[in-house]
């Protein structure tokens, strides 16, 4: 990040184990509420057994590794060449941020997360994947950060946002109403992100209402929507706002 002509790195403490950081090796120790996700732990992080840490809520929100890697590849290939910064607006436990770092495409990678315990998990996880030194971890509110500390970076940055969906309850909707997404609905989220950067990627439930997504596109413009699958089933979709190159199949 720049302050005048100087680069300012936000340095956070090295991660330490705490009672809210979770790593389970035995199923009998896993709370019932996250047991389904623990069963998929190798899909979430292939190196889970190396000591991956996740807070309770992070189990619900982390992007499966194969999906995160595919998204990172797509973004790297489709974004204009002048974009050399990527900002993970809701960094979480690091799934997508790690994939962006491993892609080798970006000069600077920032991950914003307001929960300090989740950042500790993310930093540890990035160390396990060998990319901790490629990522700037920033503790704070994404909207505040984009309007202040990151304000000057918008022209060279892509914003990737995997916002909270409101917990597992979203699965019960045949068509997910993005106006009811919690704590940030689409009307709150997209104008702020797109006002910062002309290239925004939203990671959303696979059943998201496409009509709602299209409401924010200027007349004559288009968005690109891609579903991302795992084991033959769609896990989520990404909406690409801005002028992206055509995606490969």
Q: Where are the domains of the chain?
A: 64-241
Q: If you average pLDDT over residues 71-80, what whole number do you get?
A: 97
Our CA angle for 113, 115, 121, nearest 5°, is: 85
pLDDT of amino acid 159: 98
Topology of domain 64-241 in CATH is Rossmann fold (3.40.50)
**104-140 pLDDT tens trace:** 999 999 999 999 999 999 999 999 999 999 999 999 9
Q: If you average pLDDT over residues 201-223, what whole number do you get?
A: 92
Between the alpha carbon of residue 151 and those of residues 116, 156, 157, 184, the distances in Å are: 23, 11, 10, 21
Q: 48-57, 94-103, 199-208, 210-219: which has the minimum mean pLDDT?
A: 210-219
- Cα(213)–Cα(57) distance, integer angstroms: 26
Report which of 55, 52, 32, 30 is spatially closest to residue 42, judged by C-alpha positions. Answer: 52
Our CA angle for 211, 216, 217, nearest 5°, is: 95
Q: If you average pLDDT over residues 56-85, what whole number do you get?
A: 96
Rounded (10°) CA dihedral 44, 48, 54, 60: 20
pLDDT, mean over the chain: 90
The beta-carbon contacts of 179-188 under 8 Å, at least 24 apart in sequence, are 179/212, 186/212, 186/213, 186/216
How much is the pTM? 0.89
pLDDT of amino acid 2: 43
Q: 14-18, 164-168, 245-249: which has the minimum mean pLDDT?
A: 14-18
Q: Report whether 110 contacts 142 (CB < 8 A).
A: no
pLDDT of amino acid 47: 98
| DSSP H or E stretch at residue 188 | helix 186-196
């Amino acid at each position: 990040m720049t302050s005048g002509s100087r680069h300012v790195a936000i340095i956070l403490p090295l991660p330490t184990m705490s009672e809210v950081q979770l790593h389970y090796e035995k199923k009998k120790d896993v709370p019932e509420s996250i047991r389904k996700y623990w069963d998929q732990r190798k899909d979430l992080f292939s190196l889970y057994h190396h000591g991956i840490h996740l807070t309770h809520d992070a189990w619900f929100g982390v992007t499966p590794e194969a999906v995160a890697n595919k998204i990172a590849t797509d973004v790297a290939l489709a974004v204009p060449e002048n974009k050399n910064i990527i900002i993970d607006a809701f960094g979480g436990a690091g799934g997508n941020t790690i994939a962006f770092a491993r892609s080798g495409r970006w000069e600077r990678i920032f991950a914003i997360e307001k929960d300090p315990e989740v950042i500790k998990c993310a930093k540890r996880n990035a160390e396990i994947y060998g990319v901790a030194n490629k990522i700037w971890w920033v503790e704070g509110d994404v909207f505040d950060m984009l309007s202040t500390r990151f304000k000057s970076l918008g022209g060279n940055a892509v914003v990737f946002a995997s916002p909270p969906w409101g917990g597992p309850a979203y699965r019960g909707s045949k068509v997910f109403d993005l106006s009811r997404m919690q704590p940030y609905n689409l009307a709150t989220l997209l104008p702020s992100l797109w006002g910062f950067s002309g290239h925004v990627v939203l990671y959303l439930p696979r059943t998201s209402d496409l009509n709602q997504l299209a409401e924010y596109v200027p007349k004559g413009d288009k968005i690109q929507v891609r579903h991302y699958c795992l084991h033959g089933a769609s896990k989520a979709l990404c909406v690409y706002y801005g002028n992206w190159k055509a995606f490969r199949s």
